[in-house]
Amino acid sequence: MQAWLILALAALVAGCVPVDRDPARDIIGVSAATGNGTDDAAAQQLLALKASQICTVPGYDVQKKDIEPAEDKQQIVDCQLRCEPYTAMTPVRF
């Protein structure tokens, strides 16, 4: 019984430890192919869908957006984004 109590207490304390974030490693890229400028709205919706699947609840900030040429008069829209931190990941102030 005493071992379970110590284990439960250790698990509770471990859940309260803040997690450090490395800003250099938390940028994620999403991309979508567009036509010759006619499908820009559809590409933006696809990019937003992909970004919302990766960065779920708190959202994201777009860090950089590039448009690269591709074959057959198409373009590739590439966005680099950073997910907002979860509120549960911020340290608890006592």
Quick: pLDDT tens for 25-77.
788 899 988 876 556 788 888 888 998 888 877 788 889 998 888 888 888 88
Has residue 15 been placed in a domain?
no
Q: Return the number of other C-beta atoms located less than 10 Å from residue 80's C-beta.
A: 14
Has residue 90 been placed in a domain?
no
pLDDT above 70: residue 16: no
Has residue 5 been placed in a domain?
no
Has residue 49 been placed in a domain?
yes
Has residue 38 been placed in a domain?
yes
pLDDT above 60: residue 78: yes
CA distances from 2 to 5, 7, 11, 15, 62 (A): 5, 9, 14, 20, 50
pLDDT above 70: residue 8: yes
Has residue 54 been placed in a domain?
yes
Helical (H) or strand (E) element with 53: helix 40-54
> What domain range is 76 assigned to?
26-85
Has residue 92 been placed in a domain?
no
Structurally, the chain folds into a number of domains equal to 1
Has residue 21 been placed in a domain?
no
**Taking the model in full, what pTM does it have?**
0.61
Q: CA 23 to CA 36: how far, in whole Å? A: 35
- Band (pLDDT 50/70/90 cuts) for residue 80 is very high
